[in-house]
Amino acid sequence: MKKLISAFIFVVLSASAMAGHHGKSGHKDIVDTAASKEMFSTLVAAVKAADLVTTLKGAGPFTVFAPTDEAFADLPEGTLEMLLKPENKQTLVKILTYHVVAGKVTAKDVSAMSDATTVEGSQVSIATDMGAVMINDAEVIKADVMTSNGVIHVIDTVLLPDDVKAAL
């Protein structure tokens, strides 16, 4: 699970590195952006294990709250390894799609929101406090990493839907 989340974060951070470029030309998609950043190796591995590569390479647009490898490493011991097992694919898909919002939601857009519905179907809370943007309990550490099919916001914590949290 930690590697999956880290890979996801890597994708977000990779996109953040390109935040200064807002046009679509020349940008990699969400998956390629994440894969190009070492900090998202766990997230990328998780996206592959969940068979979500094709989806996240699609037209979108998507907004991805991408946890870093460090965020995945902060999960309880053994959680990431358990989630990466083929028999836990549905739970992994649920967690990863909980990090994705349909549409392109930039930092400017987020500042005016109090929540957002994820692709998984649940809502995440959004709060801003003294310049910090929080998605549930995760802080956005890098915003607006633009990609050809959306935007990545790098976060410091893996987001878990309530029913998954209760099961861990």
Q: Which one of 4-18, 41-55, 153-167 scores highest in mean pLDDT? A: 41-55
> What architecture is domain 2-167?
Roll (2.30)
Cα–Cα distance for residue pair 45/53, rounded to 1 Å: 10
134-139: which pairs have CB atoms within 8 A and are 24 or more residues apart?
135/65, 135/159, 138/65, 138/67, 138/71
The DSSP call for residue 75 is S
Q: What is the pLDDT of residue 60?
A: 86
Q: What is the pLDDT of residue 13?
A: 34
Residue 23 — very low, low, confident or very high, per pLDDT cuts 50/70/90? very low
Average pLDDT, the chain: 83
